[in-house]
Amino acid sequence: MSSLKYLFVIPVLVALLAYFYPSDYDYENDMNERLQQILSGLLRAEKKIAQPKAKIAIGFGGCQDMFVDGLALLDALKFEAPENPEHFMSVDTQQELTKMMAYFFQHGAAAERYVGNDTLFNQLTRVAKTIPGYREAIGGNAPAMAQRLAQEGAEVLLAAKLSNNARKAMHSSLHILGDVLEEDDIHLILEYKTGDKWGKFTSPRANRFIVHSDNSNPLLETVDDLEKEILKFDPSVLVVGGLQMMDNFPFQEGQMESRLGKLRSLLATLPRKINTHFEMASFSDPALLQKIISTVVEYSDSLGMNEQELPNLVSILQYGNVSLLSDAHPRVASVLDQMRQVYKLLKNTKEVDGKRKLTRLHVHTLAYQAILTTKGSPWKNTMSATAKASLTAHRHVCGSNWIHTQKSKLLLDDSFSSSISASSTRIPVHEKRPVSCWDEDDYQICVAPVLVCTQVKQTAGGGDNISSAGLLVQVN
């Protein structure tokens, strides 16, 4: 057979090519080729679905985001890096601020904490405005998600108390509920980059530490407004986010329980055809998170979260405690195992008194997106949704709609294990069909690699954009 001789010719050709081309050159060319193919594959998957004209309601809260180079701010204030990082429930002093910043910075973990000391908070925001590169934007989970969804063409009802300035900056098609605030609550976002050095610490990835001293958001005041309007609006999904503003807020006795109780009764009385999605966030108070499980999570069809929030949810569901920090670069296998754990715990929720079984779980990480959906549930197009989430992650962080492979890198290998258990299978990441989807039991899982942006413009708000982009593709 003549084909036999190629068996010898090809290795010789390869050896010759390898001899004539320096190896770096080949490697970079191959990488870029692979990135190009994966990008085309993701774009094809994204285009498969015409954007549905969905109606979506979103709560709660909003704020003004102040973005600042975190290390430049601390430097200007002469707040030095501590010797020993430490975690506190909230921030009251300079020492607590620097120790807590170091605690999350050294792991590159996103976190958000309440500052009880107004003098300190005002000092931080005053000096932040003088730091080069300082910028402001309308923020908060609910407004960020609402903006994203409106930009994608959805009709959105937003429950958030905002100032007139903030309202003017929002997409013109948004219906905004809630009184007008004199002044927005402020969130100060201390950003840092991969490899930044502070004292003896180096950050393993770009991320941010957020501090706030909200007065309005923790009280979830717009729950009452939403309750009055939601049936008239008749959305296909209600998205709940922004509850982390309640974390360690100095509530009066019984106030936290009563506000969450109000939210629970709104969720419990919704008609079944309105699906509910809860967007997790950074929580450190186990009592609050426990309460959120019984008032919100058990009433949610769908959950969205990042790689830090997933282990925290597993901890609270399984042991009743919180996990403050976890691996910033978790393997796919361990994330999928944790997703299965959460799904098993919540898929059997008894559908009584308005409670709902979990049928969708979206986890976003730096390197990949993973979405689990129950077969036969109302959630459609899981493959396209995973691709959309992945592309949105790049677009958000690079701050551009157009994706350059030169500004991208892949952190996900050519294949991954489906589980850390010995019986797991290896799943290849095909360049031409980069979203891997497969069935298990009564659900489907899809995983898509992220073209990780190497020229970071912003990290805050990423989760909101990514989750809402993925969610919209899945509703009708």
Q: Which is nearer to ligand NAG, 263 or 393 (CB)?
A: 393
Q: Which residue is nearest to ligand NAG (CB)?
A: 147
Q: Please report whether residue 388 would count as binding ligand NAG according to CB under 6 A.
A: no
Residues 47-76 touching ligand NAG, rule: CB under 6 A, are none
Q: Please report whether residue 323 would count as binding ligand NAG according to CB under 6 A.
A: yes
Q: Please report whether residue 319 would count as binding ligand NAG according to CB under 6 A.
A: yes
Contacts of 183 (CB under 8 A, 6+ apart): 163
CB of 321 to ligand NAG, least distance (A): 4
DSSP assignment string, 459-470: -TTHHHHHHHHH
Q: Please report whether residue 136 would count as binding ligand NAG according to CB under 6 A.
A: no
Q: Which is nearer to ligand NAG, 45 or 120 (CB)?
A: 120
- What is the C-alpha R_g of the chain? 23
Neighbours of 137 (CB within 10 A): 18
CB of 15 to ligand NAG, least distance (A): 45
Q: Which is nearer to ligand NAG, 91 or 219 (CB)?
A: 91
Q: Please report whether residue 120 would count as binding ligand NAG according to CB under 6 A.
A: yes
HSE at residue 89, side-chain half, CA atoms within 13 A, is 10
Q: Using N-to-C axis directions, what is the helix angle for 255-268 and 222-233, rounded to 10°?
A: 0
Residue 281 Cα to chain centre, angstroms: 8
d(CA 377, CA 375): 5
Q: Please report whether residue 117 would count as binding ligand NAG according to CB under 6 A.
A: yes
SS3 content of the chain, % helix, strand, coil (to 5): 40, 20, 40
Q: Which is nearer to ligand NAG, 280 or 445 (CB)?
A: 280
d(CA 19, CA 271): 68
Of 445, 450, 458, nearest to 434 (Cα)? 450
Q: Which is nearer to ligand NAG, 68 or 389 (CB)?
A: 389
Which of these segments, 90-98, 207-215, 255-263, 413-421, binds ligand NAG (CB under 6 A)?
A: 90-98
Residues 392-451 touching ligand NAG, rule: CB under 6 A, are 392, 395-396
Q: Please report whether residue 290 would count as binding ligand NAG according to CB under 6 A.
A: no
Q: Please report whether residue 119 would count as binding ligand NAG according to CB under 6 A.
A: yes
Q: Please report whether residue 321 would count as binding ligand NAG according to CB under 6 A.
A: yes
- Which of 55, 99, 113, 148 forms a contact with ligand NAG (CB under 6 A)? 148
d(CA 102, CA 225): 40
The site for ligand NAG (CB under 6 A) is made up of 92-94, 117, 119-120, 123, 144, 147-148, 315, 319, 321, 323, 392, 395-396, 461, 465
